[in-house]
Amino acid sequence: MQDVTDLPFMRVIARRGAPDWFVTEYFRVHPDSCLNPYILRSILENETGKPVFAQMIGCDVPSLVRTAKQLADLPVAGIDLNLGCPAPIVCRKNAGGGLLREPAAVDRLLGSLREAIPGRFTVKTRVGYADTAEFPGLLEIFRRHRIDGLTIHGRTVNERYQTPVHPDCVKLAVGSMACPVIANGNIVDTSTGLAFLEQTRAAGLMIGRGAIRNPWIFAQLQAAFDSTPPPEPSHRDLLEYVMELYHELAREARKFLPNSHVQRMKKTLAYISHGLEGSFEHDMRRAITPDDFFRICQTHLDHTAPLPAMPPADSKLFCGFGALIVP
């Protein structure tokens, strides 16, 4: 995830039970692009013991082919193409999710990339641009190019983050693709993860925002698969996680400016503080200095009460996650 899943974040997550693999923030690719050195570090200095896929976003075929060849020479598990980003600035350029409006362009792009990438080539997609009716046609294209994996954020681009996901589309992909299909979107805890798997029979799950909120989610899911007791983190465990993230990110910052660092942390904290009891979320929005930040965290998190498993049922941030459990 952009501005989130960098090297420090990967380290902090891995200490709490890592996913089977990571995916980098996307490398922006265009005719003048070179590999972003900060994102490169999550490949070259990855010490989590887990493989990492390099993700690219763009629409210029020669530039994407050139970049894929550069990335293929690095210690990556594979190369992933982003066809899901809904940001207007990205879609306007016909990159990310914007490309889904042009299936013929996707077809050409996948053909060229498949030819250029000797190892694993995977795609991250949404289930259409404006309508899920587009999805079967997209699947046909993905199938034709023998991609090695397909991760599906189960919303259309137009749905952004504001609806429940469409497990039926993921299930359709599982039934028609030869490669493993990974289900993504709105997994916030073990029950939503297991429900998404059961409804789709996907080969695996990708977890984004839910892992920022709850970095123990991978270990909790693994425990559910193994029928062993899951980690049950307390508020104090969350405090430790937030402090670790603060200091790891500060250590790696290109230029450390205390108050700017607090603003950067607040973006991540929006997912972490969301729905916790009391005024943590409210107070954190007003933090300006590191002293404010530490005091607010200490005041609200330094106790042993267990963390709630799920965000609030009416959460706008994790919109519609409850639909996974009660389809």
Footprint of ligand FMN on residues 44-63 (CB under 6 A)?
55
CB of 150 to ligand FMN, least distance (A): 12
Q: Which stretch binds ligand FMN (CB under 6 A): 128-136, 178-186, 218-226, 239-247?
A: 178-186
| CA angle in degrees (0–180, nearest 5) for 320-325-327 | 75
Which listed residue (153, 166, 213, 274) binds ligand FMN by CB under 6 A?
153
Helix (H/G/I), strand (E/B), else coil: 156: coil
Side-chain half-sphere CA neighbours of 324 within 13 A = 30
CA nearest neighbour of 186 among 220, 158, 150, 213: 213
Distance CA 123, CA 43 (A): 19
Footprint of ligand FMN on residues 19-38 (CB under 6 A)?
25-26
Residue with tokens 């929006």: 270
CB of 302 to ligand FMN, least distance (A): 27
Write each residue from 78 to 117 as x if it is in contact with ligand FMN (CB under 6 A), else as -, in one continuous string: ----x-x---------------------------------
Distance CA 126, CA 157 (A): 6
67 binds ligand FMN (CB under 6 A): no
The 3 state secondary structure assigned to 112-123 is HHHHHCCCCEEE
Query: What are the residues whose beta carbons fall under 8 Å from the beta carbon of 295, sequence distance 6 or more?
Result: none
122 binds ligand FMN (CB under 6 A): no
Complex with ligand FMN: residue 61 or 317, whichever CB lies closer: 317
215 binds ligand FMN (CB under 6 A): no
Which listed residue (11, 16, 28, 124) binds ligand FMN by CB under 6 A?
124
Contact 242, 261 (CB under 8 A): no
Which listed residue (11, 16, 28, 209) binds ligand FMN by CB under 6 A?
209
Contact 272, 202 (CB under 8 A): no
Distance CA 22, CA 49 (A): 10
Which listed residue (46, 67, 125, 186) binds ligand FMN by CB under 6 A?
186
323 binds ligand FMN (CB under 6 A): no
Beta bridge partners of 52: 22
Which listed residue (95, 207, 319, 324) binds ligand FMN by CB under 6 A?
207
Contact 326, 290 (CB under 8 A): no
CB of 214 to ligand FMN, least distance (A): 11
Q: Which residue's CB comes closest to ligand FMN?
A: 208
Interface with ligand FMN (CB under 6 A), residue total 18
311 binds ligand FMN (CB under 6 A): no
Contact 145, 125 (CB under 8 A): no
* Binding residues vs ligand FMN (CB under 6 A): 1-2, 4, 25-26, 55, 82, 84, 124, 153, 184-187, 207-210
